Amino acid sequence: MVARSIKGILFDKDGTLLDYDESWLPVNRELARIASQGDAALADQLLAACGMDPLTGHIVPDSLLAAGNTRQIAEGLVAAGSKVEVVELTIKLDELFSNAAEFSVPVTDLAAFFGRLHGRGFKLGIASSDNERSIRLMAQRFGFAEFVDYIAGYDSGFGSKPEAGMVLGFCKATGLKPAEVAVVGDNNHDLHMGHNAEAGLKVAVLTGTGSRESLAAASDYCLNDITELEDLLHDLQPA
C-alpha cells in the first residue's frame, strides 16, 4: 500500500542518504584507533564488540556502529575495554564524525533528488543518530540544505532513535500529522522510530547495514535505494 496522505519525508542519514560502506568503514577504523589509543589489538577487539568485523569490515545490522548515537557508541567502547573516559571519547568521536562529512559518499545526486521532491511539494527532513553539526555540514556539502525543512541529530533535543521524538519534532516543524509522514532508513532503529510515532509509511533501503531479511518485519516497503522512493510516491502531489 502507498499511503495517499503522505506529505512529508523524514530521512535517516548514514546508510540512507550516504552509502554506509563507502562513507563509514574508514571512519570506524579511526574511531577504534582513537578509543584504543593506538593499541591495534584492542582496536580490533573494540570494533568486534561494537558490531564490525575488523577483517572484513562487515557491520552487524542494528549493532552499535550501525544504529547507535555518539554517546552510546562511546559507552559501548568503554564497556568493551577503551581506557578513554566516556565524556572525552564522546567529544572526540563527535569531532571525528563532523570531519567525516567531508569524505562521505552520497547514494545519488542529493541536490537533484531533494530538489525534485521539494518541487513536488513534500516537506523534507533528516533525522540521524549522528550529531546535528555533521548533518548540516553534509547537507551543505552536497548542495541540498535549501530544500530541507528540519534537521535533528542525537544532540538536538528530540531524544534518540527508536523513540518517537525526532518524528514528532518534524511534525511540529512542518505542521504535518505523523500519518502524513514517511520515515526512510536503513536499520530497524529508523523503522521502529516510525512505528513509535505512528508514521504513515515506513520505508527501508539497502544502502546501509540492514538486509531484506532484517528489515522486512518493520517496513512497509524495502527499496534498493532512495531513488526508488520517487516511483513509489509517483502519483502523490502534496497540496
Question: What pLDDT digit, counting tens, does each position of 128-175 carry?
Answer: 999 999 999 999 999 999 999 999 999 999 999 999 999 999 999 999
238 contacts: CB under 8 Å, gap ≥ 6: 6, 7, 8, 120, 121, 122, 123
Q: How many helices (H) and strands (E) does the chain have?
A: 11, 6
- Which ranges constitute the DSSP H helices of 63-107? 64-67, 70-79, 86-100
Sequence ranges of the domains in the chain:
8-19+106-232, 23-100
The domain made up of 8-19+106-232 is a member of CATH 3.40.50.1000: yes
To the question of pTM greater than 0.95 for the whole model, the response is no
CB-based contacts of 85, cutoff 8 Å, min separation 6? 78
* pLDDT tens, position by position, 180-238: 999 999 999 999 999 999 999 999 999 999 999 999 999 999 999 999 999 998 766 56
